[in-house]
Amino acid sequence: MNSEFTIAVHSLVFLAYLPEHMASSDVIAKNVSTNPARIRKVMSCLRKGGFVKTKEGIGGGYILNGDPQEITLAQIYRTVACGTIKPHWCTGDPEQNCMISSNLQSVMDDIFNEADLYFEQYLNRITLSFVLERIKQNK
């Protein structure tokens, strides 16, 4: 699983939590405990997905674009980390005569792709607001 998904969720939940729904990559990076360039990379992706708006220049940063009660983790997953359940390693060898060796990988691909859809269905029930509430409960 892609850790950028976690960073994306963290950044958006953080923006939802802030009164102004806005922060710079520097501030977000400190909260997430990583560097600003990494945050900007993820946020740039989220901007293309319509989850935030960008404001350059002095006093700029990222502004949450949408209702935290409606943005689901599934949407975020699809945007920044779709298909990352599947391991990179490939099994077997397409050149071998044995059908197990030559064909199993594509069957596993299908299985992982379908698993991805189930995973998204699960994430679809979780909104930014829900995550925020859970955090407040844990407090």
Partner DNA sequence: TGTATCTGTATCATTTATGATTACAGTATC
Partner DNA sequence: GATACTGTAATCATAAATGATACAGATACA
Judged by the rule CB under 7 A, the positions of this chain that interact with DNA are 2-4, 24-26, 33-38, 40-41, 43-44, 47, 54-62, 87-89
Residue 125's binding partner, choosing from its own copies, DNA, none, with beta-carbon cut-off 5 to 8 A by kind? none
List of residues contacting its own copies (CB under 8 A): 1-3, 5-7, 9-10, 13-14, 17, 31-33, 73, 85-93, 96, 98-101, 103-104, 106-108, 110-112, 114-115, 118-119, 122-123, 126, 131, 134-136, 138-139
Closest to 42 (Cα-Cα) out of 83, 2, 74: 2
Specify whether the CB–CB gap between 85 and 1 falls below 8 A: yes
Q: How many CA atoms lie within 13 A of 85 on its CB side?
A: 17
Specify whether the CB–CB gap between 10 and 45 falls below 8 A: no
Q: How far is the CB of 119 from its own copies (least distance, A)?
A: 6
Q: How far is the CB of 90 from its own copies (least distance, A)?
A: 8
Q: Which neighbouring-strand residues pair with 55?
A: 61
